[in-house]
Chains A and B, each alone.
Chain A
Amino acid sequence: MFEARLLRSSILKKVLEAIKDLLTQATFDCDDNGIQLQAMDNSHVSLVSLTLRADGFDKYRCDRNISLGMNLSSMSKILKCAGDKDTVTMKAQDNADTVTFVFESPNQEKVSDYEMKLMNLDLEHLGIPETEYSCTIRLSSAEFARICRDLSQFGESIVISCTKEGVRFSASGDIGSANIALAQTASVDKEEEAVVIEMEEPVTLTFACQYLNYFTKATSLSPQVQLSMSADVPLVVEYRIPDIGHIRYYLAPKIDD
């Protein structure tokens, strides 16, 4: 028996919003520790890695490890039926071919259940090597979303360049070019608005705007985002989801011809 209950359905709704542009289907691997999802998009340019820890749920029970293959557009349709303040419970029997979502209104006067067919997905677990990154940049997630949106008007790529002076985001195309430079903040009123840079070596890499914009769909999950870069390896864009886990996106850089 698998059962996971969240007091607010909004976290699960936001998680779905944050992955459904990249993935059409994915396996939720559930064990004692919580729920893990790891999948590459169809073109193998990006990878999503989601962790929801068991201790972040209001109730969590997983008697046997279970892999729930879900069609994410179907799951998204079902989660749209939940009110933001509803409690959501995901349930599946061992060896089940369906998963059930139960939504309860705050006063318990409305209880809905939705049963969804599971999919048999080929399990391809990827080992993500431990990497020491040359640069890590922490900034407001809303600021990062705005930068990606603004620069997308200029071209298909964003160049991210991190030095000890700060981080620069650049784009260029038919209408001209744009540069946004952020310096490390000396002092801020709100910690989540700080720009914090840790740099061992300067790094400059080029990434596709389209994917960065997909990643920023996770903005509402976390006030801050962390970018990790090293030469010639995938960028990591991490949103920590308060009290329950994180979503990490990996993106292969563009290569100079």
Chain B
Amino acid sequence: GTTQGRLDGFFKVQ
């Protein structure tokens, strides 16, 4: 099966 990934971690809060 697969789990939906999240964007947190890819983009840094500025």
In this assembly, does A126 line the interface, its C-beta being within 8 Å of a C-beta of chain B? Answer: yes
A127 touches B12 (CB 8 A): yes
Q: Is the CB of A186 closer than 8 A to any CB of chain B?
A: no
Number of A-B contacts (CB under 8 A): 55
Asked if A44 contacts B8 (CB within 8 A), the reply is yes
- Size category, B interface: 10 to 19
Interface 1/0s, chain B 1-14, versus A by CB < 8 A? 11111111011111
Give the distance to chain B from A175, nearest Cβ to Cβ, in Å.
18
Interface size on A, residues (CB 8 A): 24
Q: Does A257 belong to the interface (CB within 8 Å)?
A: yes
With both chains docked as a complex, state the minimum distance between the C-beta of A39 and any C-beta of chain B, in angstroms. Answer: 11
- B7 CB contacts on chain A under 8 angstroms: 40, 44-47, 234, 250, 252
Knowing A208-B4, A252-B4, the reply to whether A234 touches B14 (Cβ < 8 A) is: no
Q: Of the candidates A44, A124, A206, A257, which one forms a contact with B6 in the assembled complex, judged by CB atoms under 8 Å apart?
A: A44
Closest residue of chain A to B1, judged by CB?
A: A257
Contacts of B6 in A (CB 8 A): 43-45, 252
Q: In the bound complex, how far is the Cα of B8 from the Cα of A40, in angstroms?
A: 10
